[in-house]
A and B are shown apart, each in its own frame.
Chain A
Amino acid sequence: MARARKVFFRRRKVCKFCADKIDYIDYKDVKLLQQFIPERSKILPRRISGTCANHQRPLQQAIKRARHLALIPFTTD
């Protein structure tokens, strides 16, 4: 039986912060953070966004700070 081989073209994911050379992730930069909170307002996982570990950590911190100040939501209902 010939197995149908599917060829996937997977776009290589690049860490946005490395590409754009953003070294300080500011919790006040709502526009930037919004790109990493999809519909349910959860933090987008690294495996989806492609963010590197070194940037995901400060990103996570920034999102949590912004949530505390009600700049971005914890959840959408």
Chain B
Amino acid sequence: MRTYELMFVVDPRVADEDVVTMTQEYKNMIAAGGSQITGEENWGRRKLAYPINKLNEGKYVLLYIGSEGGKTALPEVEHRMRQNDKILRYLTVRTDEDLKRAARRQPAGGAAAPAAPQGASEEREAPPPAAQEEEA
């Protein structure tokens, strides 16, 4: 199975609820493309290391995606993100190969690797999960 991480930075002036709706939209697109969302992290407002579009803060959202077989909706999602001027930055990374390589080097299990994204997400400041489900 191929795994991906999709992280994007949203304009901080967008309300939290709208960020959730936006995220849901992208998640629906990914799901429609035949991939699963295996985890989600909402980092909330975070200071940017350098100003982007004269903004000093951004809202970070991170999606973990798993996909069976070659095709995913990711190119379309990226295309949409590029056109959305509320999205300051996005980055998709394919992680399965690197994680597998890391696991091989350390067969006892890579604790440092984000193998369990759900567990990690609880440490971060996440919006109440109930609110997300309502959007769905």
Q: How large is the interface on A (under 10, 10 to 19, 20 to 34, 35 or more residues)?
A: 10 to 19
Q: Quick check: A26 and B102 within 8 Å, CB to CB? A: no
A73 to B56, CA, bound (A): 12
Tell which of A5-13, A43-51, A61-69 binds the partner: A61-69
- Whether A70 contacts B89 by the Cβ 8 Å rule is yes
Cross-interface CB contact of A65 among B49, B93, B103, cutoff 8 Å: B93
Contact A23 B89 (CB under 8 A): no
CA distance A65 to B60 in the complex (A): 14
Q: Is the CB of B62 within 8 A of A73?
A: no
Interface of B, helix, strand, loop or mixed by DSSP: strand
Central interface residue in A28, A58, A75, by most chain B CB within 10 Å: A28
Residues of B close to A65: CB separation below 8 A:
91, 93
- B105 is contacted by which of A23, A69, A70 (Cβ under 8 Å)? A23
Query: Is A15 interfacial (CB-CB < 8 Å)?
Result: no
Contact A26 B105 (CB under 8 A): no
Contact of A69 among B9, B103, B112 (CB under 8 A): B9
Cβ-defined partner of B101 (8 Å) among A23, A72, A75: A23
> How many Å lie between the Cα of A8 and that of B105 in the bound state?
36
Q: Is B114 within 8 A of A71, CB to CB?
A: no
Which of A27, A72, A74, A75 contacts B93 (CB under 8 A)? A27
B108: nearest residue on chain A (CB-CB)? A21
Listed in ascending order, the chain A residues whose CB lies under 8 Å from chain B are 21-24, 26-28, 58, 65, 67-75
